[in-house]
Amino acid sequence: MQLAFPFVRFVPGWRRLVLIGAPVVTGSALLVAAYAYVHTANAAETPAPVTDPVLEVPEQPGLLVDVVGAVENPGLYRLPRGDRVYDAIAAAGGFSLDADMSRVPNLAGRLRDGEQIKVPFAQSASGTVVVRVNLNQATLEELESIPGFSVAFAQECIDYRTNFGGFASTRELVEILGMSEATYLVVRRYVTL
């Protein structure tokens, strides 16, 4: 029998070496693979050390500002550098209905890190907070007492809530009943649902 590769010569008894050596080499390769698998799996499963998030706040890019007062969601907010006071108030949900729009901070002012933005509440001349009228429960006389409401508009509000089951939002004064935006900016401080 002629071999295709004349330069390859087999050692006498080579079959016995293959029968013994192949399982030893295969077993060794499996042990090395299992060792590598276990050590990489353990390295991936090792959890990071637990730190107290209240005590350790990682430094993040941007500004940390405190928005307090008559906003929907007062609290701490992280904003990008270059943002304005308007952006901080918007991040806090915007002005609440009882915000005093005549005494708001400069909305165009640039924010500084650690700054506190105070939005004042609306107050009467005596210093008490303005009483708000419920659009869905007020009488005609109570609605007429709201600045910006005429007798005819107060009657329209009562007709609307009678025919359609009440107001779902104070914005319906503008969107459905046709109140001007300028009048709504004043009225929204005095009405609630």
Q: What is the CATH number of the domain that holds 110?
A: 3.10.20
Q: Which residues contact 103 (CB under 8 A, 6 or more apart)?
A: 120
Identify whether the C-beta of residue 105 lies closer than 8 Å to the C-beta of residue 85. yes
Q: How many domains does the chain have?
A: 3
Other C-beta atoms closer than 10 Å to the C-beta of 176 total 13
Spatial CA neighbour of 191 closest among 110, 137, 155, 128: 137
pLDDT above 70: residue 103: yes
Report pTM: 0.38
Q: Is residue 95 part of a domain?
A: yes
Domain hosting residue 161, numbered range: 133-192
Same domain flag for 137 and 186? yes
- Higher-confidence residue of 102 and 81: namely 81
pLDDT above 50: residue 15: yes
* Residues facing 68 on adjacent strands: 118
Comparing 51-55, 66-70, 131-135, which segment has the lowest mean pLDDT?
Answer: 51-55
Task: Tell me the pLDDT tens digit for each residue of 158-190.
Answer: 888 888 888 888 888 888 888 888 788 878 777
CA distance 159 to 166: 9
Q: Is residue 3 part of a domain?
A: no
Task: Give a three-class secondary structure readout of 9-49.
Answer: CCCCCHHHHHHHHHHHHHHHHHHHHHHHHHHHHHHHHCCCC
Quick one: pLDDT at residue 58? 47
Quick one: pLDDT at residue 154? 86
Q: Is residue 4 part of a domain?
A: no
Q: Is residue 128 part of a domain?
A: no
